[in-house]
Structure 1
Amino acid sequence: TAFNVCCKDSGFLMVLKCREQNAALKECLTVYYRDPVFYEECKQEYIKEKLEFQRTGIATKNRTQKLPASM
């Protein structure tokens, strides 16, 4: 994103130099936060992962699919 590029190029001065890019990034993200369809989709995904964790005791990020050794 433009904000990332600005921060890399500005170093410690990014707080001062990248205000415009930061504002544009915030505005872009705010559109998603206010979208009720996106909110519901995220909520359903969270509920699904929570139920799966309660069922298995394994967090989604730690769950991996393993192939049988006989293959």
Structure 2
Amino acid sequence: MGAVFSNPEREKGMLSENLGGGPMGLGDPDDLTLRKAEKEIVIPQKMKAKAKKGKCAEQVKEFGICAKEAGLLLPFKCRKQAKQMHICLSAAYADQAFIDECTQEYLKERSEYRRTGVKQKMKKSEGVMI
């Protein structure tokens, strides 16, 4: 005899009840709770990428130029640039407004993914390809 589920239209999957469901079966798009992995891994990765491209772009560029010129002597010749980049990135990671901004961006992207089933990068590439 088959298994009996509380919702006969939806078989029980690997995701817990609060992570499954939604229009695409990817979770509730309006759920704003964060899992531990999202808080500790995903959002800090987003912050790192955004800080390197935005807040600390100049320091990252200077370090990149120095690294390219120094080659194997990078640890010795680029200490000043590395320190400036580290100070800038550390300040960005400690800025609560920046943390909140990245968290809200992530939640918006996750909600859109749960609503449509299309990841953010895929949407951007679709816009380019006509």
**Is 2:114 the counterpart of 1:54?**
yes
RMSD between superposed Cα atoms in Å: 1.5
Runs of at least 5 residues in structure 2 that lack an aligned partner in the other structure: 1-60
Larger Rg: 2
Structure 2 distance, partners of 1:21, 1:55, is 43
Which protein, 1 or 2, shows the higher relative CO under an 8 Å CA cutoff with sep ≥ 6? 2
Structure 1 distance, partners of 2:109, 2:78, is 36
| 1:17 Cα offset (Å) | 1.5
| Mapping of residues 11-22 of structure 1, within 5 Å | 11-22=71-82
**Equivalent AA in structure 2 for residue 21 of structure 1:** Q
TM-score for the superposition, normalised by structure 1: 0.82
Q: Report % sequence identity.
A: 39
| Mapping of residues 1-71 of structure 1, within 5 Å | 1-63=61-123, 64-65=126-127
Runs of at least 5 residues in structure 1 that lack an aligned partner in the other structure: 67-71
**Aligned length, in residue pairs:** 66
Higher helix share: 1
**Equivalent AA in structure 1 for residue 103 of structure 2:** K
Structure 2 distance, partners of 1:30, 1:50, is 26
TM-score for the superposition, normalised by structure 2: 0.47
**Equivalent AA in structure 1 for residue 102 of structure 2:** C
